[in-house]
Amino acid sequence: MKIGQNLWSAFRGTVAMNCAGLALALAVTANLQASSGDIQLYDVSKAHRFIQTSVAPSTEDPATPWRFHAEILPTSGTSAATCSVQSPTLTLPNATNTPFLYITANNSWQIRQNFSDQPSLDAAFSNGSYTFSMPTVTAPATTFDVSLGVTGDAYPNTPSLTNTSWNSGDNLVIDPTQSFTFTWNSFTAPLPGAFIVASITGIPDQQLAATATSLTLPANSLPPGQLISAKLTFANPTTTDTTSVPGVTGQGGYTTVDQFTIQTQGPARGDFNGDGFTDYLLFNPSTRRTAIWYLQGNAFLGGTFGPTLPTGWVVACVADVNLDGKPDYVLYNTSTRRTAIWFLNNATFIGASFGPTLPAGWNLIAAADINGDGKPDYVLFQASTRRTAIWFLNGGTFTGGAYGPTLPSGWMLIDALDFNANNKPDYLLFNPTTRQSAIWYLNGTTFAGGVFGPTLPSGWTLQGAADFNTDTKPDYVLFQASTRRTAIWYLSGGINLTRSAYGPTVAAGYSLVFP
């Protein structure tokens, strides 16, 4: 049984978007597999938090430099009323009895507070003994009362990466097609049972010995062209209890956390000529010709004709279906409802295969990797019911499907791509009546929350989204039908408009297909 996993669980909330993924990672670790009954883990800790933006040593997190965290993870339940631990409390060293708050996002009971300095943290949560009272529900119902000590101010030294590949955007740059070795300073004078955890959004946490100073990430572990949150934690347990709750390890102690952002290299979405910038794809329904307009940001650099489509077919969306790093056409036949993939090398047709046939009433909106297997899936929308559906694909082969969230009245599904940098595509919505945009954050096919984006001016429609200024954040593409003008709205997270610029005007007779 590995100790240390419990103490580390206290920091699953460092990046809120990753709570569910980290909870899943914890659920498969060795000590949790050994647990039984109604409790998987419980822990209490104090943390000193840092941020790293270059090869220079980490600096204290200006927003949340100090944190207290206590957590109980039940074995079952999806709400406070149904979980296997009911209304637990924590008695502080000053005898204050504090209730836990149930956190639905990761199905756990938590007490978490952030502080601007250590004296404020210690005034609210002093060093000493913390007593968990955990009422369980499995017959015979039992209340476990367990004390864990957080004593000695045993904060580890500050972890800091020694890698040199940082860019001007304060991100650690990685080529995801190659293996990459993270290196860091030594854990100084660790306590018995101390450990290190490397956490990268979208992949399982890696628990390492306190003597470790490096970790190699295999090639193709991360998606290209993304900003990915990560952190390195040094943990010093001051108390470990393996007997009070049978089969479960409880821990108390101190951690020091280094937070940083990874930027993975890779082609931009819809980058046909491989220069790192998103391009426009145009279609002429009269001649059935396609054309690719090469862009650098919003500037037109030149263009070329792509393959001409057969009668009855249109380009529904663009995606790298054969995973060669080059965009392909995803076609749709409006009469037969068949789909097809046209594989391209820049603007040159190199092959094709049929995809699945859509049911009546459904439209193909986008192709995005919804289930995280590295392969694009179909995102479908039924206008009459406002339902969405995901068809999981292996290349062009249908492997299964699931319904996504249903849209509210008046809204359209425009696109699917990652807005909150958690490596999971989200929905981009548009209301043509109010001209309001919105982002629906998804965890696979499950709705995880939403925010409004900017409202478009009259006469403009939301065409799609892509990263035009290479900051790895999606930007809006707008189209004005009366003038055939395009515009790029540069966004921060799909929410805040930071600036805008006109793009090229679409040629007469052509429509903008992508983005």
Distance CA 495, CA 413 (A): 17
> Is the backbone of residue 89 left (phi > 0), alpha (psi -120 to 50) or beta?
beta
For residue 374, the model assigns a pLDDT of: 78
Tally helices (H) and strands (E) across the chain.
4, 36
What does the angle CA 379 – CA 384 – CA 389 come to, to the nearest 5 degrees? 20
Is 125:92 a contact under the CB 8 Å cutoff? yes
| Overall pTM surpassing 0.75 (yes/no) | no
23 secondary structure, DSSP code: H
Residue 437 C-beta-side C-alpha neighbours within 13 Å: 27
The pLDDT of residue 168: 65
Is the separation of the CB atoms in 317 and 514 below 8 Å?
Answer: yes
First to last CA, the chain: 50
Question: What is the C-alpha separation between 432 and 95, in angstroms, rounded?
Answer: 57
Report pLDDT for 375: 87
Let me know: does 184 contact 213? Beta carbons within 8 Å: yes
Spatial distance between the Cα atoms of 41 and 449, rounded to a whole number of angstroms: 27
Q: Which has the closest alpha carbon to 474: 485, 463, 460?
A: 463
User: How many other CB atoms are there within 10 angstroms of residue 401's CB atom?
Assistant: 16
Record the tokens describing residue 5, joined without a space: 């996993």
Phi first, then psi, for residue 121 (nearest 5°) are: -60, -50
pLDDT at residue number 224: 75
CA-wise closest residue to 491 among 456, 443, 460: 456
Distances (CA, A) of 510 to 285, 332, 414, 505: 7, 18, 19, 10
Phi then psi for residue 407, to 5 deg, are -80, 150
Cα 413 to Cα 130, 455, 462, 496, distances in angstroms: 49, 16, 10, 20
pLDDT value of position 494 = 65
CA distance 370 to 388: 13
- H or E element that contains 59: strand 59-60
Tokens of 267: 């082609």
In terms of DSSP H, where are the helices of 273-398? none
Selection from 331, 332, 327, 446 nearest residue 390 by Cα: 446
Q: What is the pLDDT of residue 258?
A: 98
3-state secondary structure of 5: helix
Percent of the chain with pLDDT over 70: 92
- Compute how many other C-beta atoms are within 10 angstroms of the C-beta atom of residue 52: 25
- The DSSP bridge pattern shows strands 313-319 and 299-306 to be unpaired
User: Which domains are delineated in the chain?
Assistant: 5-264 (no CATH), 280-514 (2.120.10)
So what's the pLDDT on residue 420?
86
Whether omega before 356 lies within 30 degrees of 0, making that bond cis, reads no
Separation CA 160–CA 55 (nearest Å): 8
Burial 53-90 (b: 16+ CB within 10 A, else e): bbeeebeebeebbbbbbbbbbbbebeebeebbbbebbb
Are 371 and 379 in contact by the 8 Å Cβ rule? The answer is no
Q: Hey, what amino acid is at 360?
A: A
Whether the CB-CB separation of 350 and 423 falls below 8 Å is answered with no
What tens-digit pLDDT sequence spans the chain (515 residues)? 233 444 544 444 333 333 333 222 222 222 323 335 899 999 999 999 999 999 999 999 999 999 999 999 999 988 999 999 999 999 999 999 999 999 987 889 999 999 999 999 999 999 999 999 999 998 888 999 999 999 999 999 999 999 998 876 688 989 888 899 999 999 999 999 999 999 998 888 999 999 999 999 999 898 877 778 999 999 999 999 999 999 999 999 999 999 999 988 767 789 999 888 899 999 999 999 999 999 999 999 999 999 999 999 999 999 999 888 889 999 999 999 999 999 999 999 999 999 999 999 999 999 999 988 878 999 999 999 999 999 999 988 999 999 999 999 999 999 999 998 777 899 999 999 999 999 999 999 999 999 999 999 999 999 999 999 887 789 999 999 999 999 999 998 668 899 999 999 999 999 999 99
DSSP conformational letter for 116? S
Nearest-Å Rg of the Cα atoms of the chain is: 26
Report yes or no: 466 and 452 within 8 Å, Cβ to Cβ: no
User: Residue 104 gets which letter from DSSP?
Assistant: G
CB 65 within 8 A of CB 41: no
Tens of pLDDT, residue by residue over 197-208, are: 999 988 889 999
β-pairing, 397-403 vs 412-417, is unpaired
